[in-house]
Chains A and B, each alone.
Chain A
């Protein structure tokens, strides 16, 4: 925000215009990023799904099928939106808007760099939690307004699920706030300065990794992603809360889901992986240009990739198993972590002295490297297979 103000200020415009532009330009940029993002994510998801199921994925439209999602979006835009006769028209229209706005709003506090941030709210973390629950209201509204039993049940289940997983997520956020002593996302990033070994995941070595896993599982469930995609379980509930939606009204829910995935991944990367900070100080800037946005988006997209990967690896949970995981596994763990890490923060405010700096990250980097090698080998294998099939 201030950065934009300074950049525009150089043009010699009248002050009120500078103030207006400094507010509107970042908002428009963010909206463009969020509105066009799903096109990329859906393409990535179809390609990854294809790869994991040993198929090719989209291929016809554009080079490597890259324009497939653009074509889908255009098709959805031109499709007729059906309003069921018995639906509550006003709420039926309002619901997708609410879901999208709720998903978009959290983006404003994400720090893309030390100075690239929509707004550095002093209640940042709390704001994210509050705003991202707006979409729950949207979901219930959609399910109820449709006046369809499947939609209503999908909405109720998804609300129950989001609400259940909200608590472990909020509790694990409390722990991070406790360690840093600030709710502002900017301060949380600054507390992790110094490169890879100083990121919050490695502090109190295995504890914060567990904390991150609790948070990540909870966010996965809050995005209604597999294995927690009960609300959209085709075999039970048709399409859940958006059964009655068609055309771009349906696309709005889709967009919100993907935006929420990216937002929560970005939040997770800010809280645990240093956000816009590079793994090594030397990589923070290249030729005076800050690489903060690059690092943040790279980290967030890595987490989004993990979400997509899990979708094709794990089977869907049943509703009772889902509730079991939330209330009887994640919640006790997160409550215990609040107390244990809280006590440790009092005794050792900077984390365990040596272990944190040298044990955690090499293990995780090793796993990451194995993952990358595995993916590369799988790609080679599938290339070879395609050639064999063609021959």
Chain B
């Protein structure tokens, strides 16, 4: 009777309301009593050196890029998987070619050392 996404929307609203309510409640119940030492960034008890707005290793970018590539491929696989039975052998071979390309790229990335952390 309701369009199928309405429950998702309602649940999202209720969940946002729930988290806002509990966080607000905890702010009311536990009165903030700030002081400079308490509000400084935790760095094992010593005064923090610099900020955390620094550069981080390139490995993260590598992983991120390969993830995007493979995830997009996975997203392509879903519609194929849905109609897989109807497409029959032709669809399977087509996707086999796609997977072969994907596997080739994956092997290349592996050999180049993209996955060596």
What residues make up the interface of A, taking CB atoms closer than 8 Å to B? 1-2, 5, 19, 22-24, 26-28, 30-31, 35, 76-87, 93, 96-97, 100-101, 104-105, 107-108, 118-122, 125-127, 144, 146-153, 156, 159-160, 163-164, 166-167, 170-171, 174-175, 177-178, 181-183, 238, 243-244, 247-249, 252, 319-320, 322-324, 327-328, 331-332, 335, 338-339, 342-343, 345-346, 349
- Other 8 A-B pairs with CB < 8 A, given A164-B67, A181-B82: A76-B26, A77-B22, A119-B8, A144-B52, A146-B41, A152-B52, A170-B74, A181-B81
Known interface pairs A19-B1, A148-B41. Does A27 touch B29 (Cβ–Cβ under 8 Å)?
no
Rounded to whole angstroms, the CA-CA distance of A182 and B86 in the bound complex is 12
The size of the chain B interface, using a CB distance under 8 A, is 71
The reply to whether B38 and A82 contact each other, CB–CB distance below 8 Å, is yes
The reply to whether B2 and A147 contact each other, CB–CB distance below 8 Å, is no
What residues make up the interface of B, taking CB atoms closer than 8 Å to A? 1-2, 4-8, 10-16, 18-20, 22-23, 25-27, 29-34, 36, 38-44, 48, 51-54, 56, 59-60, 63-64, 66-67, 70-71, 74, 77-78, 81-85, 88-89, 92, 95-96, 99, 102-103, 106, 110, 115-117
B64 contacts which chain A residues (CB < 8 A)? 160, 163
Known interface pairs A164-B67, A248-B26, A338-B99. Does A81 touch B43 (Cβ–Cβ under 8 Å)?
no
The reply to whether A101 and B15 contact each other, CB–CB distance below 8 Å, is yes
B106 contacts which chain A residues (CB < 8 A)? 331-332, 335
A159 contacts which chain B residues (CB < 8 A)? 60
CB B76 to nearest CB in A, in angstroms, measures 10
The reply to whether A252 and B23 contact each other, CB–CB distance below 8 Å, is yes
Rounded to whole angstroms, the CA-CA distance of A198 and B52 in the bound complex is 53
A78 contacts which chain B residues (CB < 8 A)? 26, 29-30
A343 contacts which chain B residues (CB < 8 A)? 92
A118 contacts which chain B residues (CB < 8 A)? 7-8, 11
A84 contacts which chain B residues (CB < 8 A)? 39-42
The reply to whether B15 and A342 contact each other, CB–CB distance below 8 Å, is no
The reply to whether A149 and B43 contact each other, CB–CB distance below 8 Å, is yes
CB < 8 Å: which of A247, A252, A342 contacts B92?
Answer: A342
